[in-house]
Amino acid sequence: MSRNVLVFAESRNGEIRPVVLEAITVATLIADGASITAVVMCDQISMDLQILAHYGADLIFVLEDAKYLPYCSEIYAQALFQVIQEVHPDVILFSHTTIGKELAPQLASMLKAGLISDCTSISNKDGLSFIRPVYAGKAYERKRFIGNELMLLTIRPNTFKKRNPDYNRKANCVSFVPRDNVVSNLLQTIVKNTVDVIDLTEANIIVSGGRGVKSAAGFAPLRELASVLGAAVGASRGACDLKYSDYSMQIGQTGKVVTPDLYIACGISGAIQHLAGMSNSKIIVAINTDPEAPIFKVADYGIVGDLFSVVPMLTMELKKMRS
């Protein structure tokens, strides 16, 4: 069955976020030949929006206004609500990012529609169904919507393989100015201490440190390894609680959920709450002095050793390979 799909094309610093291209790929599976509309909201368009067409969008709604930066959920939700009333989609897709996690349930409530969040897999056989993790990633459930009412979904970044782009595809861009119904006024934005340049949720490689790094300075060798690998740096809550690292880097049940191709855990024991945030990584490497550490149970490669000698050795070897 074909369905019209609307994709919220989240942008950051003037760029479409990579997960949006995954979302559009998912949209092509769901649409099954029907139309895919992407909606971009930002203060100033500085990017080539046709990238959305290359991945499958047929139409692009552009909402360009200074009020879209900084992000304010009410402004975004009200504007999106009006786009939805224009487009009449059957399915609305968000990325499972901080913004997507806030907007999707808000809109589901405004539209009186159902929402399945954090989808990691989708099947279009015998009707649409979606797989998502439950119990902090210990189990997975398959869900489907009852009936054919409007469906909202969020998809986990770095989980769906992007389709090959077709650079000949072009989409019409439609400028849209929503009516202003907003009642709240954003007075101040709190700028978080964003330590890392690469977004953890979209990183392909993550080097992560735990209490085993022993101090804030102990993260230095991890940062060096990360810079050679082009990786982001993450941390366990143990490391964050001890102020070795900023909470914006925390991975786990109460931190960020990540799905990189390679996750290198240094001095992290592998508590269930940490595993909840990283066990879906494609390859896990653990470096730990304790051979009984639970992290080795989920690791594809384990190194029993002191991270302060293993990590610099790895960095040195990688530098040699690159020179």
Question: For residue 256, what are the CA distances in angstroms to 22, 96, 237, 260?
Answer: 19, 11, 11, 12
- Residue 273 labeled ligand binder: yes
Size of the site for ligand FAD (CB under 6 A): 28
The least distance separating ligand FAD from the CB of residue 126, rounded to whole angstroms, comes to 36
Nearer to ligand FAD, 149 or 290 (CB): 290
Of 37, 259, 269, 279, the one binding ligand FAD by CB under 6 A: 269
Nearest C-alpha neighbor of 226 from the set 247, 203, 244: 203
Binding ligand FAD (rule: CB under 6 A), the pick from 71, 81, 176, 308 is 308
Considering only 106-114, 118-126, 187-195, 306-314, which stretch makes contact with ligand FAD by CB under 6 A? 306-314
Task: Determine, following the binding rule CB under 6 A, whether residue 290 of this chain makes contact with ligand FAD.
Answer: yes
Look at residues 16, 35, 12 and name the one whose alpha carbon lies nearest to residue 88.
Answer: 35
State in angstroms the smallest separation of the CB of 30 from ligand FAD: 31
Query: Facing residues of 6 across strands?
Result: 37, 92
274 lies in the binding site for ligand FAD (CB under 6 A): yes
Residue 2 labeled ligand binder: no
For residues 77 and 65, give the distance between their C-alpha atoms in angstroms, rounded to a whole number: 15
Beta carbon nearer to ligand FAD, 77 or 265 = 265
Binding-site member from 31, 63, 307, 314 for ligand FAD (CB under 6 A): 307
Identify whether the C-beta of residue 10 lies closer than 8 Å to the C-beta of residue 17.
yes
The four Cα atoms 300, 301, 306, 311 give a dihedral, to 10 degrees, of -100
In the three-class reduction of DSSP (H, G, I as helix; E, B as strand; rest coil), residue 29 is classed as helix
Tell me: does residue 273 bind ligand FAD (CB under 6 A). yes
Structure tokens at 247: 């909470």
User: From CA 268, how far away is CA 246, in angstroms rounded?
Assistant: 16
d(CA 206, CA 259): 9
Specify whether the CB–CB gap between 41 and 19 falls below 8 A. no
Q: Give the footprint of ligand FAD on residues 159-218 (CB under 6 A).
A: 210-212
Q: Is 288 flagged in the annotation as binding?
A: yes
169 is in an annotated binding site: no
Binding ligand FAD by CB under 6 A: which of 48, 261, 300, 306?
Answer: 306
215 belongs to an annotated ligand binding site = no
45 assigned ligand-binding residue:
no
* Ordered DSSP codes for 96-143: SSHHHHHHHHHHHHHHT-EEEEEE-EEE-TTS-EEEEEETTTTEEEEE
In contact, 236 and 252? CB cutoff 8 Å: yes
Report whether 254 belongs to an annotated binding site. Answer: yes
Classify 96 as helix, strand or coil. Answer: coil
Q: Hey, what are 256's tokens? A: 């960020």
254 near ligand FAD (CB under 6 A): yes
Q: How many residues does the chain have?
A: 323
Q: Determine, following the binding rule CB under 6 A, whether residue 239 of this chain makes contact with ligand FAD.
A: yes
CA 20, 22, 25, 26 torsion-angle sign: negative
CB under 6 A: which stretch of 57-65, 123-131, 160-168, 287-295 binds ligand FAD? 287-295
Q: Using the rule CB under 6 A, which residue among 89, 100, 133, 267 binds ligand FAD?
A: 267
Q: How many Å separate Cα 255 from the centre of its chain?
A: 13
In the complex with ligand FAD, the residue whose CB is nearer, 174 or 271, is: 271
Residues 87-146 that bind ligand FAD (CB under 6 A): none
Which range binds ligand FAD by CB under 6 A, 22-30, 48-56, 109-117, 289-297?
Answer: 289-297
Given the DSSP bridges, would you call strands 11-12 and 114-119 parallel, antiparallel or unpaired? unpaired
Residues in the annotated binding site for FAD: 211, 236-237, 250-254, 267-274, 288
Binding-site residues: 211, 236-237, 250-254, 267-274, 288
Chain residues that interact with ligand FAD, rule: CB under 6 A: 210-212, 236-239, 250-255, 267-269, 271, 273-274, 277, 287-290, 293, 306-308
